[in-house]
Chains A and B, each alone.
Chain A
């Protein structure tokens, strides 16, 4: 069953506080979080998070496309032992 709209998206309160602190400071600090269940809000766009996957912190730079998804979706907790795509490209983001 989907979450009721009247409740709004779930976000841990302390995560919102940390995001506000970093935004107010104007620095580009990475925000450590263990809250994989928190929804990515529009306020988080442009901030750097480090999401815990049970073993280490995975850097997540929030972009507009991620709004509405959970932080945990971008920090997999299981190791993929398959073959990396041979022709996969990485672009140095801004």
Chain B
């Protein structure tokens, strides 16, 4: 997969006999997927232009949309696309507002170092449970969450793929406040 491609959706199944498709959106909000068309496949050999776009079931399945594509005329063609992931070029994503803002996918894979220069592993995931972004640092087997806040992130260099962290005290020592 090219590094400049970002996965924004997945074709789930055909709908009806005129080539309509049920698509799952991986954007936030899900409706933003409409603005990213035309989409392409992983190898950029296929391009899909939008003919019509509407929510599949707005109350129960907010991420699902019923889509008609210019390139898909009938159900047979639609069935060949089941399970296909849909991509866009990274440049099509909205511009970041300032230097303190980052896309999650830019942070994943960064090499994590402590202030002393010791390796903490790498950033394997970024999560937001409602209390701000958290970097999952370590390895796939064992990781710890470190808040993506100025107190804990000393420096970040996307070009060198390095992030210097100041992990919370108890992550290193196991001590807690009495």
Interface residues of A (CB under 8 A from B): 18, 21-22, 28-32, 48, 50, 56-63, 66, 73-76, 83-94
Contacts and interface: CB of A to CB of B under 8 A. Distances in A.
Contacts of B88: 86
Contacts of B94: 87
A83 B26 contact: yes
Contacts of A90: 101-104, 107, 126, 128, 133, 148
Contacts of B145: 56-59
Interface of B: 6-8, 10, 24, 26-28, 32, 88, 93-94, 96, 100-105, 107, 125-126, 128-134, 144-151, 153, 156, 168-170, 176-178
Contact of B132 (A18, A76, A93): A93
A30 B131 CA distance: 14
Nearest to B153: A92
Given A61-B132, A94-B149, A87 B168 contact: no
